[in-house]
Structure 1
């Protein structure tokens, strides 16, 4: 499973519910690790995703057809495909065990952005000499 490390991110999506916001779903995005570059950040989405219910009781794969297509085109190599499969297994085990980012799903469901927090800002790029 070591090859799977870093091939996905877990996101929580919230929507307005009349009393603030509620957790709509968890979203597992399979991707190469984000890299910092001189121009900003580079990412590479591996197209397949997993959408998980807020209570972690059910999930569904997303964009399997797109993933098969990028496999046929060679955009996702055989080596990457093996790593994606390992990452899929890692994510499903994490869900089943309620470990990793899913350890305290109830608390994350209740999490709210503090409106007093300032909006994040990226640092200005350093001057090129």
Structure 2
């Protein structure tokens, strides 16, 4: 395993399709522990799309923009899970929602992590209203066409079943009813750690705009809420 990343460090998140990068973008590390990898994708972050050809065609975001358009998103992923949980804030940061993005378990690299979006998603409103499935038809069409690895679609379905059962019981691992602090950090180009020439690794610097959010989560061992953040 590669060494752990440092809170505040900028790393590279890649989605690999056909063994080559489909989409690549920098994210800022919030926490890297045995239980959780949390990264922040800032609004305006540049995105690089692979030139292909790809078995699934161009990445769907390529037709929209080459930068992240929405407000910043916190991405929470546990080692081995077939999904990540993205925290979306409203434009005024007054509320948030959870977005379960099914993906291949992340794999560490020297400069970041590799994964691949697996089409299926679940939207979990932060106000406690019922969750909603997304892109089920896309997922099933991809599975029927043989677009996933052997047994992968069934593993995703099982992971989704287990997760929705937990949601129905009000036992989501990321903490039902928790309102995380909205991050203010931005990636501001190469000086703030944007990937360049294959090298990344800017750490936290002074000033509130580059300080990382404190995001509490429950420790499996202690059962207590704890936080991950840049050192003061």
Q: Is the 8 A contact 1:12 1:23 kept in 2?
A: no
* Residue 95 (1) aligns with residue 167 (2): yes
**TM-score when scaled to structure 2?**
0.42
Cα distance in 2 for partners of 1:14, 1:31 equals 21
* Residue 42 (1) aligns with residue 117 (2): no
Q: Is the 8 A contact 2:102 2:117 kept in 1?
A: yes
Corresponding residue of 1:16: 91
Structure 1 runs not aligned, ≥5 long: 125-129
Q: Is the 8 A contact 2:124 2:132 kept in 1?
A: yes
Residues 8-34 of structure 1, C-alpha deviation per residue, up to 9 Å, x if partnerless?
A: 1112100223xxx13342100111111
Q: Is the 8 A contact 2:101 2:122 kept in 1?
A: yes
Corresponding residue of 1:127: none
Kindly indicate which of the two structures has a greater share of residues assigned to helix.
1
Residues 55-106 of structure 1, C-alpha deviation per residue, up to 9 Å, x if partnerless?
A: 23212111112112211221124511221111111211221222211x342x
Moved beyond 4 Å, runs of 4+: 117-122
Among 123, 142, 145, which residue is 1:51 paired with?
Answer: 123
Structure 2 runs not aligned, ≥5 long: 1-79, 194-199, 203-232
**TM-score when scaled to structure 1?**
0.71
Among 170, 195, 201, which residue is 1:123 paired with?
Answer: 201
Corresponding residue of 1:111: 181
Query: RMSD of the alignment, in Å?
Result: 2.6
User: What is the number of residues matched between the two proteins?
Assistant: 112
The secondary structure found in structure 2 opposite 1:86 is helix
